[in-house]
Structure 1
Amino acid sequence: MRPQWNEGRQVNPLTKVAHWLGRHPRSMKLAPVIIPVDRVLHRVSRGRLSLVGLAGMPSLRLVTTGRRTGLARASDLVYTPYGDDYVVIGSGWGRPAHPAWTANLTADPHATIIVRGRTLPVVARRVDDAAERAEIWALAVRNWPGYEMERRIAGGREFRFFVLTTA
């Protein structure tokens, strides 16, 4: 496969494959494989490598405080750059319930992210404003088209959006 170029930057050819998979509901069956492999790669490489990242998607590890246990809880997520901030969307692969990390961030907005091998403290802001949600959704879908399919699969559940700002 020859690499593509976009605005002078090399584009990962696997990104097209990931975007194609993200538009097909059958690809959701890959979640039980992708999630644990991504978790191991992220842990072993100390945040420098992830399966999602290999496909050219920006990814991070979000470490929240469990709202019930008080223990650290890690989730590997796709993010969308938003200026100097990071946007994460609680799509949960289209499952009917909100992912636990979204409730943890709602209870305690202070968290840590590990992105490209760097550990950064962040403060989360939940996005509820309709205009900002629309702006973020457009950016996020351009970044990960699979969000549209996940929204259809979720059966009307409104995803929680968070902007993570470095503290």
Structure 2
Amino acid sequence: MGWYTNVIRSLGHRPWFSAVGRTVVPIDRWLQQKTSGRVTILGRSALPTLLLTTQGRKSGQPRTVPLIYAPDGDAFVVTASNWGQQHHPAWSGNLLACSDATVALSGGREVPVRATLAEGAERDRVWPLVLQVWPAYDTYVERSGRSIRVFVLTPS
């Protein structure tokens, strides 16, 4: 892991970084979509990112969000941290309503996935994987005062 990744991971614990992160998500989503995932605001080499497209539970329309993920074999583990806010992000509710989604990876490769909410022993197993990628998730749990949803996205 390089110095840049270490700096980004360290800043992730700071409240101002979360506020800035929430602000740039729409820009990052647009940037990744336009470059087929080759370019992201954090930098491709800093953290593994993907674009998750879910079906809106109310609108039925596709909803896309950039997320950090932890690899777990062929699967992708994502957290619904919402930058440590007190409410769950909308995309996690979408996955609970319809577990079929699509993941877009660097280079524009799209993978259909089925989402499973990690609970109990499975959550205990994958939580350290996401902390290895983004240690600030523990800070987000403290800040939010809620249990952060963790999903395993398995290629379907």
Q: Same fold (TM over 0.5)?
A: yes
TM-score where L is the length of structure 2:
0.92
1:17-56 equivalences under 5 Å are 17-54=7-44, 56=46
Asked if 1:118 is matched to 2:109, the reply is: yes
Change (3 A) 1:22 1:134: same
Gaps of 5+ in 1: 1-10
Which structure's CA Rg is the greater one?
1
Per-residue deviation, residues 64-88 of structure 1 (Å, max 9, x unmatched): 0011111000011000101110001
CA–CA distance in 1 between the matches of 2:8 and 2:141?
17
Q: Alignment identity in percent?
A: 38
Asked if 1:146 is matched to 2:142, the reply is: no
CA–CA distance in 2 between the matches of 1:61 and 1:50?
11
Which one-letter code corresponds to 1:14 in the other structure?
Answer: Y
CA–CA distance in 2 between the matches of 1:94 and 1:33?
14
Structure 1 segments of 4+ aligned residues over 6 angstroms from their partners: none
Quote the offset at 1:99 in angstroms. 0.5
Q: Which moved more, 1:19-28 or 1:98-107?
A: 19-28
1:22-101 equivalences under 5 Å are 22-54=12-44, 56-101=46-91
Change (3 A) 1:55 1:28: farther
Residues 94 and 153 in structure 1, CA contact (< 8 A), matched pair in contact too:
yes
SS in 2 for 1:163: strand
Residues 91 and 150 in structure 1, CA contact (< 8 A), matched pair in contact too:
yes
Gaps of 5+ in 2: none
Change (3 A) 1:32 1:91: closer
TM-score where L is the length of structure 1:
0.87
